[in-house]
Amino acid sequence: MRSPISRAELRLARMFAGELYFAKLRTQVDGRLRGDPLARVGLYPWHTNPYPLYDQIRGRGPLVQGRVEGY
């Protein structure tokens, strides 16, 4: 039988969940409010047919700076 979850484990789980949902929120804001095509690719309804977004990204030039950090 496993011992009860420690406070440190709960803290790590809360931090992980917070970072995960913050990233999801940021993608929603960047895609829906700021119109970032790279962020919109993963959002409904755009993920069902992403090809118009791909054309928009290609139309901006060879490289497009996205709002999502690390990409």
Kindly report, residue by residue over 27-57, the tens digit of the pLDDT.
999 989 998 888 888 888 877 888 888 888 8
Mean pLDDT across 59-65: 75
- pTM, whole model, 2 decimals? 0.64
Kindly report, residue by residue over 14-32, the tens digit of the pLDDT.
999 999 999 999 999 998 9
For the cut 70, the answer to whether the pLDDT of residue 65 exceeds it is no
Closest to 64 (Cα-Cα) out of 39, 32, 33: 39
For the cut 70, the answer to whether the pLDDT of residue 4 exceeds it is yes
CA distances from 17 to 24, 32, 42, 69 (A): 11, 22, 20, 19
Tracing tokens 């690719």 back to the chain, one arrives at 41
Pairwise CA distance, residues 70 & 60, whole Å: 19
